[in-house]
Amino acid sequence: MDELNLFLGLGFSGLVRAEVVFVVAAGLTLIFGVVKIINFAHGSFYMVGAFIAYSVVRIMPASDGAFWVTLVVAAAVIAAVGILTEVLLLRPIYARAHLFQILLTYGLTLVIADLVRIIWGTAFKTISPPLLFSGSLMLMGRSYSTFYLFVIGLGITVLISMWLMLDKTRFGLLVRAASLDSEMLSTLGINVPLILTAVFALGSALAGFAGAVIAPSVSIDPGMDVTMLTEAFLVIVIGGMGSIWGAFLASIIIGQVFAFGTLLLPQFAVIFPYMIGACVLIARPQGLFGRAYH
């Protein structure tokens, strides 16, 4: 029974981490699928979201509502940053080779990383989880932190909302059309650049949102961007670029592989997800649910 407890514990923590990565990855894969850009600064957006949450909590009087405010503010600010990035920096170079877009967003990463250091300093920060979620819940004989349960629930909510939006709303239809053939869409009189900007803003907002959500339970430091970026990349590469469901599945797989990997080889557990990634990609270069692009 001890082992079961251990497994459940591992599986649970793997799931929590997976959900956070999923939300970030969902934004990244959405942007790639529609705008056809790999945004290296996506991890930076996540990090800034977390730092914004920290600042909001410091400014606001200690209250429970503070947490929800951080979520809203982080998402909104990052969405705005996303819009600026897309309009000012990315639009001029859409026609150019992918390399330039990658380099541009990488340059942006450098700028943001140092800006964060300038504004918030290099020491890492922590904020405490909201009182609402500081307890734990008993489920089937084991206690789970309510905050973590909330995070998992949030991840699933994001998944379902994204799916509903893409599948059932008019906006979602336009987005899907834009990802398939944006030229055709613009000949139909639809403002395609606006859609691309909106998608970029939405995807970025998801990253900032994820940062704010998980801020109470991690150490907020200026290296967060890189770790999250590489995890998110791994997720979308395995799941298939442009696929939300793929990202969900991949993030869960990776989360569990990592969690249980710590059981086998704690030192090298971090490598297991990469090996899985390499295997998947060798067998199926476009990822689990990806379309076979050129």
Partner 1 sequence: MGTLLNGPQRHFANLGVLWWVAVGIILMVFPIFLSKFWLYLITFMLIQALFAVSFNLIMGYGGMISFGHAAFFGIGAYAVALLSARTSLPFALILISAPVVGGLLALIIGFFCLRSHGLYFALLTMVFAEMLYHVVHKWYNFTGGDNGIQGIPLPFFLETQASYYYFVLFLVVVGIILVWRIVNSPFGNAVMAFRENEERTDFVGINTMKLRLEAFSISGLYSGLCGGLFALLTQQVSPDVMFWTKSAEPIFMGLFGGMYTFFGPIVGAIAIVFLEQFISAHTKYWAIFMGLIILPVVLFLPEGLYGTFERRIKAMIRRRGEI
Q: Which residues bind partner 1 (CB under 8 A)?
A: 38, 89, 92-93, 96-100, 102-104, 106-111, 113-115, 117-118, 230, 233-234, 237, 241, 267-268, 270-271, 274-275, 277-278, 281-282, 285-286, 293-294
Q: In this structure, what token pair is assigned to residue 159?
A: 């998944």
- The CB-based long-range contact list for 85-94 (8 Å cut-off, 24+ gap) reads 85/41, 85/200, 85/204, 86/35, 86/196, 86/197, 86/200, 86/201, 87/197, 90/35, 90/37, 90/200, 91/193
The CB-of-167 to partner 1 minimum distance in angstroms stands at: 26
Cβ proximity to partner 1, 38 vs 73, nearer residue: 38
Strands 142-145 and 136-139: antiparallel
Cα 289 to Cα 161, 166, 190, 244, 245: the distances in Å are: 19, 16, 28, 9, 8
Cβ proximity to partner 1, 94 vs 171, nearer residue: 94
In a 3-state reduction of DSSP, which class is residue 139?
A: strand
The CB-of-226 to partner 1 minimum distance in angstroms stands at: 8
Cβ proximity to partner 1, 103 vs 152, nearer residue: 103
User: Which amino acid would we find at residue 70?
Assistant: T
The CB-of-234 to partner 1 minimum distance in angstroms stands at: 6
Cβ atoms of 23 and 210 closer than 8 Å: yes
Cβ proximity to partner 1, 141 vs 266, nearer residue: 266
Cβ proximity to partner 1, 255 vs 277, nearer residue: 277
The CB-of-267 to partner 1 minimum distance in angstroms stands at: 5
The CB-of-17 to partner 1 minimum distance in angstroms stands at: 16
